[in-house]
Amino acid sequence: MKQVFTAKTVDEAKALAAKEFGAPEEKITFTILEEPKKGLFGMKGEAKLEAEYEPSKPEIAADYIVTVMESMGFATPTVEIRDIEGGSLLEIKGEGVEGIIGRRGETLDALQYLASLVANRSDRNYYRIATDCCGFREKRKAQLEELAGKMVAKAKRTGRTVALEPMNPYERRIIHAAVSQIENASSRSVGEEPYRKVLITSTDPDRPYRKRDDRKGGRPNGRKGGRRREDFKARSLDISSSFEKDYKKPKPEDEMGTGLYSKIEF
């Protein structure tokens, strides 16, 4: 954006431009059009300059977030920009801003998605925009990693596949990464958005065989006519429960992956 500013001196005109654009002077390109001239009785005329400023993509996203939050009734939200791998992290700060997180971070995710669209609409070079508020992302990551460990333990204890509640891609990647660090456990995603979920399976060859209940007419393991341990192991490795048959083949990004939710208190 370009704009002409007039003041008594060049420095004052530059200060006006910085205030108008909300950016430091070093990030603004100035072209001096006129300068005041010296006369017998002091300076005559005014300084006129053209200022040009192109905000960066994270700055565009930050301005958008502040505008949206102010429209929602948040009094004094501010956004701190930090560089991360492949983009920028926008940390939302201010009194009462934790209200923007929403249930399970859904409002924060929606704001991040919209801010990313606004920042990247000017060209086709995608720039990653991530948002956080009150350290929510780190707390959620720790919570999901703990959840993954518990569900792996359950899968190993029962010998059955454990299905988690639907999650967004970001949270599914955290689960996949956590499971990949645990021995004799695997995970994969099934389903279509927004109901895509993670399945966790034990690959431990010595996982327990789940006996049938004698009270319901079943035969315990080892009796004549009961299912053999080898048969059960073969069946359990072929995950084909009824709900899975309704889903399409998992997406590649989740196959390469690196409910069960609870409230986070602030």
> For residue 248, what pLDDT is reported?
42
37 shares its domain with 65: no
Contact at 8 Å (CB) between 220 and 212?
yes
* Alpha helix (H) residue ranges in the chain: 10-21, 57-71, 106-119, 136-158, 169-180, 229-237, 252-255
> For residue 206, what pLDDT is reported?
72
Residue 195, Cβ density class (10 Å: 0-12 exposed, 13-18 middle, ≥19 buried):
exposed
154 shares its domain with 180: yes
| CATH number of the domain to which 101 belongs | 3.30.300.20
35 shares its domain with 122: no
Which of these three, 75, 100, 134, is where a domain ends? Answer: 134
35 shares its domain with 13: yes
> For residue 43, what pLDDT is reported?
67
Tens-digit pLDDT profile for the chain (266 aa)?
Answer: 788 888 888 888 888 888 888 788 888 888 888 887 776 666 677 888 888 888 899 999 999 999 999 999 998 899 999 999 889 999 999 999 999 999 889 999 999 999 999 999 978 889 999 999 999 999 999 999 999 999 999 999 999 999 999 998 889 999 999 999 999 999 999 999 889 999 999 998 776 655 554 445 445 454 444 455 555 444 444 444 443 444 444 444 444 333 333 434 43
100 shares its domain with 119: yes
Token duo for residue 23:
């950016």
Q: Which run of H or E residues covers position 4?
A: strand 2-7
> For residue 40, what pLDDT is reported?
60
Q: State the Cα–Cα distance between residues 126 and 24, nearest whole angstrom.
A: 25
pTM, 2 dp: 0.64
